[in-house]
């Protein structure tokens, strides 16, 4: 059985010398493909370097919405360069976060728009973070889609069934992470049941959001099997079918 962790952070700052063991554990668990997501220029470049030397990995380059106020001179240009040089398979992590107040709303909107336009310019998918902001995120996706084709994933999705349906209608994929496995995640599991199979992705958001039964421990791509198993159970689908579908969806999204 093959799994694709569609969203993980594997830069040296977070895993250091343990990274080879982390990758080996993932592959031993059947997680043969991973999308390594950037949040700043430095870890985006590290993700691109890692994907260039490790089979089965792809990278995304972006500035996280919580970090845009701290962007250094030339940092956005480094993101653009990674896209222009074809070193990444996606743009992001970008989006809007109204839960934290580390970056002004107007600046978050500006950078989200920059990422959307960059993704469209290079025909790349965009990886989107949304926290207490999904209405505004969907509105900006709709506006961007009016300019031309746009592929997107709402990662670590926690919205309602209506919001999931609207996102799917806009052509988005929906990524489900460890929260769907939590005891408090019954409502989210009901939402996951409504998502069309061809729009569903599984992810870890490593090193964050460890799924049950590993809450409290550092997350890593091998653990995506727990999220996939929970989704298969909730959706009453064979695990083999869900793993195959989510892997095929991620391959298609990232152009593999």
Question: Could you tell me the pTM of the whole model?
Answer: 0.97
Per-residue pLDDT tens digits for 81-126:
999 999 999 999 999 999 988 899 999 999 999 999 999 999 999 9
- pLDDT of 13 above 80: no
Mean pLDDT of the chain: 97
Distance CA 150, CA 135 (A): 18
- State the pLDDT confidence band at 79, using cuts at 50, 70 and 90: very high
- Residue found by looking up tokens 């030397």 in the block: 53
Domain ranges of the chain: 3-253
Distance CA 256, CA 237 (A): 25
Quote the pLDDT of residue 101: 81
Residue 25 in tokens: 């554990």
Phi, psi of 64 (to 5 degrees): -65, 140
Among the CATH numbers 3.40.50.2300, 3.20.20.140, 2.40.160.50, 3.40.30.10, which is that of 3-253? 3.20.20.140
| Angle separating helix axes 75-84 and 41-53, nearest 10 degrees | 30
């Amino acid at each position: 059985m093959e799994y694709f962790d569609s969203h993980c952070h594997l830069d040296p700052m977070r895993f250091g010398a343990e990274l080879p063991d982390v990758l080996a554990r993932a592959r031993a668990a059947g997680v043969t493909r991973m999308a390594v997501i950037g949040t700043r220029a430095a870890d985006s470049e590290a993700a691109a370097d890692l994907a260039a030397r490790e089979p089965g990995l792809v990278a995304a380059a972006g500035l996280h919405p919580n970090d845009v106020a701290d962007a250094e001179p030339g940092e956005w240009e480094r993101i653009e360069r990674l896209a222009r040089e074809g070193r990444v398979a996606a743009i992001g992590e970008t989006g809007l976060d109204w839960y934290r107040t580390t970056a002004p709303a107007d600046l978050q909107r500006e950078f989200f728009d920059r990422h959307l336009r960059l993704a469209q310019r290079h025909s790349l998918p965009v990886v989107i973070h949304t926290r207490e902001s999904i209405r505004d995120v969907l509105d900006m996706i709709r506006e961007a889609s009016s300019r031309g084709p746009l592929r997107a994933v709402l990662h670590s999705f926690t919205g309602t069934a209506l919001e999931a349906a609207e996102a799917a209608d806009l052509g988005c994929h929906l990524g489900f992470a460890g929260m769907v496995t939590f005891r408090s995640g019954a409502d989210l599991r009901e939402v996951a049941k409504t998502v069309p199979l061809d729009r569903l992705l599984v992810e870890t958001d490593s090193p964050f959001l460890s799924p049950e039964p590993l809450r409290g421990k550092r997350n890593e791509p091998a653990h995506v099997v727990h999220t996939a198993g929970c989704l298969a159970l909730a959706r009453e689908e064979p695990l083999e079918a869900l793993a195959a579908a989510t892997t095929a969806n991620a391959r298609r999204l990232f152009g593999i």
